[in-house]
Structure 1
Amino acid sequence: MESLTVVHKINIAIHVAAGSLALVVGLIAIIASKGRKLHRLTGRLFLILMSIVIITGLIGVFVFGRNTFLLVITVLSGYLAFSGYRVIKAKSNVPKFIDLGICLLSLISVSYFLYYFKSIGMIWSPVIVYSTVGYLFLMIVYDLGRYFIPTKTYANLWIYEHILKMVGAFGGLLSAFSGTVFPQYQPYSQFIPSILGTLITICFMINVSRRKKYVNVN
C-alpha cells in the first residue's frame, strides 16, 4: 500500500508538472505568429505535454480512484487537442479510421461518466458538469457530422475548427488548473477560464475572416 502511495504521488507530480508546462507552452503558441516556426514548435510540444497530462490523469482516475470528474476534463481537453491537430494535418474532412476511433472512444468514456454520476448522485457543480459534458458531446456530434459537409465548403472551415479546438483544449486545461488551485472559488474558477478561451477563439476567428476577405479583394 505504501508503494502505491509513492507511485500515486509521483503520478500527481508528473501530472501537475506536465499540465503547468503545457499552459506556458500553450500560451506561447497562442501568442506566436500563426504558421511560423515558433507556433508549430510550441504546438507540437503542447500536444506532447497534453499526452502526458491525459495518461497521468487516466491513471489517477482508474488506478487510484481519484476525482472522477477529472476524467471528463481530461477526455475533453485531450480530444480537442488531438482533433485540432488532426484538422491542421489533414485540412480535409475525408473520413479516417483513427479519427472515428478516437471519437467513439471519447463518446464511450463520457457515457461511462454520466452513468457513474447517475449512480452516486450529483456531487460537483451542475453548471460545470453539464457544460463540460454537453460541450464534449457537441464536438463529437460535429466531428461525426462534418464528413457530410461538401469538400469545397469544408476547405474554408477547417482553419476555424483548428482554432476552436486548440484554444478549447488550452481553456479546458486552464479550467482544470484554476479549479484545482482555487477550489474555494468554484464554480467561477472553473468556468471563467472557459469564457476567456471563448473570447480568444472569437477574436482569432474574426481576424482570420478579415484576412481572408482582404486576400480575396486583392
Structure 2
Amino acid sequence: MLHKTNILIHIIAGSVALLLGVFALVSAKGGRFHRKAGDWFLVCMSVVIVSGLMGVFVFKRNTFLLVITVLSGYFGYSGYRAVRMKSNRARALDVCVALASLGCVGYFLYYFRSIGMIWSPVIIYSTVGTLVLVVLYDFARYAIPREAYSGLWLYEHIFKMIGAFTALLSAFSGTVFYMYQPYSQFLPSVLGTLLQIGFIVYYASGMGTKKRGQLAPRS
C-alpha cells in the first residue's frame, strides 16, 4: 500500500510539473505568471525527486530511475540557482548538491551489472553522460573570470530549466509509451535540445534583451 501510494504521488506530481513546465515555456519570460509557474514546477519536481528516491532506496525498484530522477532534479536546482545567484562564486550548498549527484551516478554504476540493461543502452549512457557533463561544467565555471561570466547566467538558466523539463518528459513518455522505446524517450530529448538552442539563440541575438531585467529574482 505504501509503495502504491508513493507511485501515485510520483505520477501526480510529475504530471502537474509537466503542465507547469509548459506554462512556463509559453508565458512571457520574467513575468509574474512565468515566475509562479516556475516556482510551482520546482515544488512539484521536489516531490517527484523525493518519491523517486523512496522508490529506489525504500522500495528497491528500478535503480536506473535514480539517475533520471537526479538528472531532472539537478537540472532544476542548478537552473534555479543560476537565476537566483547570477554569479559563479563557489558556494558550499551548490558544491554539496553537485557531489551528491555524482555520488548517485557512482551508486548506479557500481550496481549496474546486477541491475541489468532494463532500459535501452542509448538512454542509459546518454542520461549518465549528460548528468556527469553538467556537474563537471558547474565545477569548471568557477574558474571563469566573473566579468566574463556575468552574462552567462541567463543562458544557464534557460538550458538547465528546459533540461529539467525535458528529462521529466522523457521519463514520462518512456514509461507510458514503453512499447515504443527508445524513441519514446529519445525524441523528447531531441525536442528539448531544439528548445534550448532556440531560446538561447533568441536571447543571444538581442531579441529578448528587453526582458532580461524581468528575470531578476524576487527579494
Which bracket does the TM-score occupy, shorter chain normalised? over 0.9
CA 1:39–1:213 in structure 2 vs 1: closer, same or farther (change >3 Å)? closer
Structural mapping, 1:122-161, within 5 Å? 122-161=117-156
Corresponding position: 1:67 with 2:62: yes
The alignment's C-alpha RMSD in Å is 1.3
SS, match of residue 205 in structure 2: helix
Tell me which stretches of 4 or more aligned residues in structure 1 moved more than 2 Å: 118-124, 212-215
What CA distance in whole angstroms lies between the structure 1 residues aligned with 2:8 and 2:209?
48
1:20 paired with 2:15, answer yes
The SS at the match of 2:206 is helix
Equivalent of residue 181 in structure 1, options 153, 160, 176 = 176
Give the deviation of 1:211 after TM superposition: 1.6
TM-score by length of 2: 0.93
Question: Offset at 1:65?
Answer: 1.0
Q: 1:172 Cα shift?
A: 0.1
1:119 Cα deviation (Å)?
3.9
Q: Deviations over 1:107-138 (max 9, x none)?
A: 00011101111344433211000000000000
Could you tell me which residue of structure 1 aligns to residue 27 of structure 2? 32
Asked if 1:105 is matched to 2:103, the reply is no
1:88 aligns with 2:86: no
Unaligned runs of 5+ in 1: 1-5
Aligned length: 210
Distance 2:80 2:113 in 1: 33
Looking at structure 1, the residues matched to 64 and 115 of structure 2 have their Cα atoms a distance apart, in angstroms, of 12
Q: Which one has more relative contact order, counting CA pairs under 8 Å at least 6 apart?
A: 2
Contact 2:6–2:51, Cα closer than 8 Å, also in 1: yes
Unaligned segments of structure 2, at least 5 residues? 211-219
Aligned partner of 2:165 in structure 1 is 170
**TM-score where L is the length of structure 1:** 0.93
In structure 1, distance between residues paired with 2:133 and 2:32: 32
Change (3 A) 1:137 1:214: closer
For 1:211, what is the secondary structure of its paired residue? coil
Larger displacement relative to structure 2 (22-31 or 113-122):
113-122
Partner Cα separation in structure 2 for residue 162 and residue 151 of structure 1? 17
